[in-house]
Structure 1
């Protein structure tokens, strides 16, 4: 068990807190990557978890890559370029794959700076809520780099191509109000209200059928890149599964038993 990721259970909601002040919750260290990937695998296997909230400690969401070890861990310090390619594939790139394949709804509670891969990490989550002190930057270009962790795929899907290009080409940070205006986040709250707001939303989600939530999330993900007829066929199959769950039967009975005015 790593000390990077703290876990706290709130009923059917799991709160994950990145907690490494020395690196400002950098994501690129091997044990940090393992912690996030392992947590996703464990959540997928645990049907009692219906929603996840991801946040950071120490006043920062995530600083992205660990700049002190960047060259030796994934960069020119490894020697041949092919070694850097493998380091990315076997390292940080496991995180977007794990989070995008996480079956339950995820909420990023962005409590402070989300920089570089930290910004992309927020985009890997399904919903983003920001504290008024949060800021976001797709800042790779300022280091003469490109988004190596999937940001070029993630960010345009969240804010649109024009906004994504502006962020990626300038490396400028945007504050919480700007993030709200461009659709990067869906809510902005005061710092002290961030976790309560995120957990309240997660609890609202988690009251619903765990099977339905997981199937719905998969349909939304598939709908980003598949044809309508293919998605309709997948939807029919998923709906057939949902019709045969006890959760559906219970919810339907409760609805039909309600008095009609």
Structure 2
């Protein structure tokens, strides 16, 4: 992997660290290379059962500044052409990112190191868990540039902060600081900038201590439950539970419980 890649991948044992790597645009989400990088890396991580947790962060002063406003001004990339062309370009462009997240089976934590604005806020919401630096700022700010959340934000944000707060953030475009983000449930922790990656990795390590396949099934259950009835959720849970009870990791977990030792999971 090159240091010029749009997303950098680093491995620390069972944890993968993904770093958005476009500091010159404050990690704006634009360009085929960015969209393809999410799809390629997520597919790679899905196939590797040795990966049990992912941390996503940004290079430089921002987590992600959202869409490239200069391209909006110049009607370049996704933002040029007729309404019909823009629809197609969004589908073939930035909308591939939430679809890639939906297909990601590995638990992912956003370590929000700085501003997460517009599509950057939505990117954080695509992650399962969010931890913020005190320097982080969040805004569902599409109205401020005269557009709507075209990347799935209207679906994502209410599921994180609730319908009324999501409406307030989307209708005003207001920016909230890290403490307010914690208060409204947008993030689960706020830490000093120098402690951000340590906090994210500590949480990832606690997650990664568990059986990798069961972690992935648990994530799929949580995703499916967003739009399922109780009966549907119970059916999904029963399906995965049937599989889980047959795994070597389940047998190892039960044996370790009775032997009062730490289990060793293999993903089998």
TM class by shorter chain equals over 0.9
1:93 counterpart = 2:95: yes
Give the unaligned 5+ runs of structure 1. none
- How far apart in 2 are the matches of 1:20 and 1:258? 47
Partner of 2:76: 72
RMSD: 1.1
SS at match of 1:15: strand
Give the unaligned 5+ runs of structure 2. 262-268
- How far apart in 1 are the matches of 2:112 and 2:67? 17
1:138-149 mapped onto 2 (5 Å cutoff): 138-149=140-151
- How far apart in 1 are the matches of 2:105 and 2:92? 22
Query: Which of 222, 228, 231 is the matching residue for 2:230?
Result: 228
Query: Which of 155, 158, 171 is the matching residue for 1:169?
Result: 171
- How far apart in 2 are the matches of 1:53 and 1:152? 24
1:208-223 mapped onto 2 (5 Å cutoff): 208-223=210-225
- How far apart in 1 are the matches of 2:260 and 2:145? 60
SS at match of 2:69: coil
- How far apart in 1 are the matches of 2:24 and 2:190? 27
Partner of 2:23: 21
Partner of 2:188: 186
Q: Scaled by the length of structure 2, what TM-score is found? A: 0.94
Q: Scaled by the length of structure 1, what TM-score is found? A: 0.96
Aligned length: 257
Partner of 1:61: 63
- How far apart in 2 are the matches of 1:234 and 1:142? 41
Determine if contact 1:120/1:151 at 8 Å carries over to the other structure: yes
Partner of 2:258: 256
CA drift of 1:195 comes to 0.2
Give every structure 1 segment of 4 or more consecutive aligned residues whose post-TM-superposition deviation is greater than 4 Å: none
After superposing the two structures, state which structure 1 stretch, 106-115 or 80-89, moved more: 80-89
After superposing the two structures, state which structure 1 stretch, 1-10 or 215-224, moved more: 1-10
